[in-house]
Amino acid sequence: MKNSLKFKDLGADFFAHIQTQRLENPSLIHVNQNLKQELNLSITDQEFLEICSGDKQLGQERPISTVYAGHQFGYFVPQLGDGRSCLIGELEGNELSLKGAGTSPFSRGADGRAVLRSSIREYLCSIAMQGLNIPTTKALAIVTSSSEVYREHVESAAIVTRVAESHIRFGHFEYFSSLGQNENVKKLANFVIKYYMPDVKQGDYLGMLREVIQSTAIMIARWQAQGFSHGVMNTDNMSILGLTIDYGPFSFMEAYDPGFICNHSDTQGRYSFERQPSVALWNLHRLADTLKTLIEEEQLKEALSMYEKILVKEYSLLMRNKFGFAVQDESDNAIINNFLELLYTNKKDYHQSIRLLSNDDQSSLGKAFDPWFKDYRKRLKIETEDPSQRRALMNKVNPKYILRNYLAEVAIRSAEDQNEYAEIDSLFKLLRAPFAEYEGYESYDSETPEWAQNLELSCSS
């Protein structure tokens, strides 16, 4: 099998070879078949299982774990690295990474494992983000096992196979910069430009930074428009390609609340929903700090000043699409903001409520929304598209199905308690194309039921 990891070209300072550690009785519980096909992985099911559980190498490739640093909750940690993940090879220009296949020199005393619960969440969210057109690492397969791991309780160990063009993070740059190894910073920048930024000329480090700023701003704009909270926006969880990476205590917002904090461990709300845009900018500043020997200070500043404009432009475009505004009008922002304000004061579900707009259904939102609907209908009169066309376009950006925590929890419980995986399959199907409506799945857009009101998510995974 032809297969070689470009990352290894960077040299021994950047990674360590590792040996994956086997799980007891591994079995596949779900496979992203389309992705498997895209990767041209024509091997037997048995071989596929062995590769995804770390029992067999991909071709001749020896797995590696990479070293990086990062600002965690604002504080610099000089060495983190792939403590429980490793790159196992490359197919069709995509790196394959196992998360949970055992320890590496960067495990810092932890067990190198991932629990089934968080692996299912990562697997489902990866497909949900793709469905919503939000850049993300992908997930190829999920393996469970009878190996036990210890978190707050004993849990099953699992492995998710992640797929991305590159898993390089801001933290990779920070690691070498903090050691004063500026030659390695330069080497890494050259590598990123050469392989991942076809539009940037070799040696154009400013061009590279601009690309990172651009793709990060677009990613964050889409998070904000689709109500996604990442939960742990440390610089080691920021992809150099602007992909959503490292799914932990993430949540999609339900009742609209800008101050929403999805991570129970984030007591200060550093990573609350409304702070995500400014945190990403802060993170970009930390990346820019590492490039000071390659880019003039003034140019760094100028590049960083582009961020807000790109983000606002993308966010406005998405929000205008969500409300069905194709024609520009100066009242648009006010109408959108007034609606969000009403959602907040009336504790209404973000996704369901906006989806209702396409059906012009104001009855289920209640009396408080009547004056707003009057303004909205008046505003829509200047639109030139016919209403049915407009609704169809709105329904392409307003999802019917969202990965609500309780839905993931139902799938997790049946997997953990009954070794039943049908629920994962159902969610996978709905979330990969969440704008369509599926017969027989009417209840999957329902709000959180009573029993799941107090589900808590933390960094434990």
**Residue ranges for the binding site for Mg(2+)?**
237, 246
Which residues are annotated as part of the binding site?
81, 83-84, 99, 111-112, 162, 169, 237, 246
The Cα–Cα gap between 239 and 218 comes to 13
Total site size for ligand AMP, rule CB under 6 A: 15
112 interacts with ligand AMP by CB under 6 A: yes
Maximal CA-CA distance, the chain: 66
By beta carbon distance, the residue nearest Mg ion is 246
80 interacts with ligand AMP by CB under 6 A: yes
9 is catalytic: no
Q: How far is the CB of 242 from Mg ion (least distance, A)?
A: 16
The Cα–Cα gap between 230 and 234 comes to 10
- Tell me how many degrees the CA angle 49-133-440 measures, rounded to the nearest 5: 70
> In the set 122, 155, 174, 246, which binds ligand AMP (CB under 6 A)?
246
237 interacts with Mg ion by CB under 5 A: yes
> In the set 82, 90, 155, 266, which binds ligand AMP (CB under 6 A)?
82
97 interacts with Mg ion by CB under 5 A: no
With CB cut-offs between 5 and 8 Å by kind, which of ligand AMP, Mg ion, none does residue 28 bind?
Answer: none
- Enumerate the β-bridge partners of residue 238: 244
Q: Which residues of 239-268 are buried (b: 16+ CB within 10 A; e: fewer)?
A: bbbbbbbbbbbbbbbbebbeebbbbebbee
- Enumerate the β-bridge partners of residue 91: 94
In the complex with ligand AMP, the residue whose CB is nearer, 68 or 325, is: 68
111 interacts with ligand AMP by CB under 6 A: yes
In the complex with ligand AMP, the residue whose CB is nearer, 67 or 431, is: 67
Quick check: 290 and 298 in contact, CB under 8 A? no
459 interacts with ligand AMP by CB under 6 A: yes
The Cα–Cα gap between 437 and 401 comes to 8
Quick check: 253 and 350 in contact, CB under 8 A? yes
Task: Indicate the residue type of 32.
Answer: N
Q: Given 82, 236, 349, 445, which residue is catalytic?
A: 236
In 86-204, which residue ranges form alpha helices assigned H by DSSP? 116-131, 170-178, 182-196
The single residue listed with the structure tokens 């993170």 is 283
Q: How far is the CB of 241 from ligand AMP (least distance, A)?
A: 17
In the region spanning residues 203 to 242, those forming contacts with ligand AMP, defined by CB under 6 A, are: 232, 237
Site for ligand AMP, rule CB under 6 A: 80-84, 107, 110-113, 232, 237, 246, 248, 459
Q: Binding residues for Mg ion, per CB under 5 A?
A: 237, 246
Q: What are the residue numbers of the active site?
A: 236
